[in-house]
Amino acid sequence: MTTDDSGSDAVEEAPEPPDTFEDTIWPDVNRSLTAVDVRPERSTLDLIVHIPRADVVRGLGMLKNAEALKFDYLRSLTAVDNEADGVDVVYHLYSVPNNINLTVKTTLANDDKVVETASNVWQAANWLERETAEMFGVTFTNHPDPRPLLMPEDVDMSDTFPLLKSHPFAEIDILQGEQLGYDRDADEGD
C-alpha cells in the first residue's frame, strides 16, 4: 500500500489553517462519542483519537454500537511505554460492514496503570488484555480471567513487566531448574 497522503503537508512554510479532519471519519466519530472528551490526531493510514482513561471503555462501547460506524471487530489491543509520559493503551478498531478503521488511545500515568476492561465490549479483548497486563503491568479492572497469558505459570513473575523500557534488555535473573529448588542429587529411587 503506498503511503497515505491524507491531506496534511509535511512541508511547513506558511502557517496552515488548523486541521478540521473533515476528510476522515472524524465527524461521525465525534458525533457518536457523546459526553466523552476526545481529541483526534492524524497518522499514517488510520485516524487516531485520544480518550481519557475514565471514559475510554464507555467510548469504545459507543463506537461499537453507533449506526454510522459499527466498529464490531477489535483488531489489536496493546500498550506503548512512553517512559516519563506514562503508558498508552492502544485499541485498533475495524468495522466489517463499513470497512473503516480507527485507532483509540488512552494514556495512563506511570504510578496508576489501571483502566477498565474492554472484554465486555468485544470478547477479542480477553486474551489481548491478559498479554498487555503481564507485559506492561497494566491492571484491567473487572477482567473475567486475569491470569498471565505468555509468562510461565509456575514461577512468580508478578513484578516483572518485560516490555517496559525500564526492564533491562539483557539477562533475566530468573533461572530455571536450580532456583526452583530442583535438587539433582536427591535420588528418588529407581
Partner 1 sequence: MVVEASTPFEASEFETQDLLINVGPQHPSTHGVFRMVLEIDGEVVKDLVPYIGYLHRGAEKLCENNDFRQGIGYMDRTEYLAAHNAELSYVMAVEALAEIEVPERAQWIRMILCELNRISSHFMFLGAFGVDVGVFGTPFIYAWRERETVIDLFEEISGDRMMYAYFRAGGLAWEVPTNFVERVQQVLKSARQGVKDFDGLLTENEIFIARTKGVGVISAEDAIEIGMSGPSLRASGVPLDLRKTEPYLYYDQLDFEPITAEGGDVFDRYLVRLQEISQSIDLIEQCLDRLQDGPIVPEKMPRMLRLPEGEVYMRTEAPRGEYGVYMVSKGGNKPHRLKVRSACLSNLQALKQMSVGQYVADAIIILGSIDIVLSEVDR
Partner 2 sequence: MSTEIFGIEDVNVWVDALIRVLLVVGFMTVVVMGLIWIERKVLARFQQRLGPTRTGPIGLLQSVADALKLVGKEDLRPRNADPWTFELAPYLVFIPVFLGFVIVPFVLDWQIRILELGLLYFVAVSGVNIVGWIMAGWGSDNRYAMIGGMRAAAQGISYELPLVLSLLAVAMVVEVPGTDASAEAARGSLNLNEIVASQHEVPNIVWQPLVTVVFFIAALAELNRTPFDIPVGESEVVGGPFVEYSGIRWSMFFLAEYAALLIMALVFAAVFLGGWAWPFGIWMDDAPPRWAQALVVAGKASLFIFLVIWVRASVPRLRIDQLMGFSWKILLPLMLVQVLVNGLVLVYDWPEIILTVVGLFGIVALFAMVERAVRHPRPRPMTAAQLQGEAAS
Interface with partner 2 by CB under 8 A: which residues?
123, 126, 144-145
CB 71 within 8 A of CB 77: no
What is the C-alpha separation between 153 and 132, in angstroms, rounded?
Answer: 16
149 makes contact with partner 1 (CB under 8 A): yes
> In angstroms, what is the minimal distance from the CB of 66 to partner 2?
22
Q: How far apart are CA 32 and CA 2, in angstroms?
A: 30
Burial degree of 77 (CB within 10 A; 0-12, 13-18, 19+): buried
* Nearest distance from C-beta of residue 52 to partner 2, angstroms: 29
Exposed / middle / buried, residue 161 (Cβ in 10 Å: 0-12, 13-18, 19+): buried
- CA 118 vs. chain centroid, Å, equals 10
Measured from the CB atom, the residue of 32 and 130 that comes closer to partner 1 is 130
Closer residue to partner 1 in complex, CB, 168/189 = 168
- Binding residue (CB under 8 A) for partner 1 from 17, 99, 184, 190: 99
Residue 138 lies near partner 1 (rule: CB under 8 A)? no
Window contacting partner 1 (CB under 8 A); options: 14-22, 26-34, 52-60, 118-126: 118-126
Mask for 38-57, x = binds partner 1 (CB under 8 A): -----xxxx-x---------
